[in-house]
Amino acid sequence: MRGGAFEQDRYLNVPPHMQISVYTRIPKARFMAVTPAGDLLVSVPDEGKVDLVRSNQQGNPDVSTFVSGLRRPQDIVFHTIDQQTYVYISETNQIDRFLY
């Protein structure tokens, strides 16, 4: 984890009894949202995709593409309608809705 932005020492003020650590690296990530299952969705606008990050037993999370072919995806929001959960992803030209 010592490459890129972590090549230099950086400091973050964290409240007492709290801690922070690097979970995974996704180059050029923009927004993230915690899924209802506790995983992460991370938008990568420059690549036109949203990645799904899932923890595993080995400690290094699994990263896979949730959706690709998007036009600079940005924000990610979950909403449940009649017991069905959807994920809304904003692009530069529209908002997409996907089943979650």
In a domain, 32, yes or no: yes
Is 0.95 topped by the overall pTM?
Answer: no
Which structural domain range is residue 66 located in? 27-99
The reported pLDDT for the residue numbered 60 is 84
- Residue 64 is given by DSSP the state E
4 within a domain of the structure (yes/no): no
The confidence band for 5, taking pLDDT boundaries of 50, 70 and 90, is low
With a CB cutoff of 8 Å and minimum separation 6, the contacts of 81 are none
- Report pLDDT digits (tens) over 34-75: 999 999 999 999 999 999 999 888 878 999 999 999 999 999
Identify which of 20, 2, 3 has the alpha carbon closest to the alpha carbon of residue 11. 20
pLDDT exceeds 90 at position 9: no
Our count of domains for the chain comes to 1
Say whether pLDDT at 3 is over 70.
Answer: no
Handedness of CA 17, 32, 34, 26 (dihedral sign): negative
Is 57 a domain residue? yes
